[in-house]
Structure 1
Amino acid sequence: MTRVLVLYHSSWGHVRALAEAEAEGALSVPGTVVDLRRVPETASESARRAQGFIDDDTPQAKPADLESYDAVIFGTPARFGLMSGPMKLFFDRLGNLWSRNALVGKVGAVFASSGTQHGGHEAALLSTQIALMHLGMVVVGMPYSFAGQSASEGIVGGSPYGAGTVAGGDGELSPNATDLAGARFQGAHVVRIAARLALQGGAAVRAA
Structure 2
Amino acid sequence: MAKLAIVIYSTYGHVAALAESVKAGIESVGSSATILQVAETLDAKTLELIHAPAKPDYPIVKAEDLTNYDGYLFGFPSRFGSFPAQINAFTDSTGGLWASGALYHKPAGFFISSGTPGSQEITARSVLNFFVHHGLIYVPLGFGKAGAQLSNIEEVHGGSVWGAGAFAGADGSRAVSQLEKDLAHIQGSEFAIAASKLAPSAPAAASTAVKEAVAETAAKADVATTTAATKAEAPKSESGCCTIV
Asked if these proteins are the same fold (TM beyond 0.5), I'd say: yes
Structure 1 unaligned regions, length at least 5: none
Mapped contact 1:6–1:23 kept (Cα < 8 A): yes
Matched with 1:66 is 66
Mapped contact 2:197–2:206 kept (Cα < 8 A): no
Distance 1:202 1:105 in 2: 18
1:49 aligns with 2:48: yes
Q: Percent identity, aligned pairs only? A: 33
Distance 1:66 1:202 in 2: 24
Q: Which residue type is aligned with residue 122 of structure 2? A: A
Mapped contact 1:109–1:129 kept (Cα < 8 A): no
Pairwise CA distance, 1:164: 0.3
Matched with 1:136 is 135
Pairwise CA distance, 1:89: 0.5
Pairwise CA distance, 1:130: 2.3
Local SS of the residue matching 1:124: helix
Alpha-carbon spacing, 1:15–1:93, altered in 2? closer, same or farther (3 Å): same
Bigger drift between 196-205 and 20-29 goes to: 196-205
Q: Which residue type is aligned with residue 154 of structure 1? A: E
Distance 2:25 2:32 in 1: 11
Distance 2:61 2:17 in 1: 18
Runs of 4+ in 1 over 6 A off after TM superposition: none
Matched with 1:125 is 124
Mapped contact 1:110–1:129 kept (Cα < 8 A): no
Matched with 1:180 is 181
Alpha-carbon spacing, 1:127–1:162, altered in 2? closer, same or farther (3 Å): same
RMSD over equivalenced CA pairs, Å: 1.5
Distance 1:16 1:46 in 2: 22
Query: Residues 42-121 of structure 1 correspond to what in structure 2 (within 5 A)?
Result: 42-56=41-55, 57-118=57-118, 120-121=119-120
Pairwise CA distance, 1:59: 1.2
Distance 1:183 1:45 in 2: 30
Pairwise CA distance, 1:91: 0.2
Mapped contact 1:117–1:155 kept (Cα < 8 A): no
Larger Rg: 2
Distance 2:143 2:192 in 1: 17
Bigger drift between 120-129 and 11-20 goes to: 120-129
Aligned residues: 203
Matched with 1:196 is 197
Structure 2 unaligned regions, length at least 5: 208-245
Mapped contact 1:15–1:76 kept (Cα < 8 A): yes
Q: Deviations over 1:135-183 (max 9, x none)?
A: 1111011111202011101211111111101111111111111110111
Local SS of the residue matching 1:40: coil
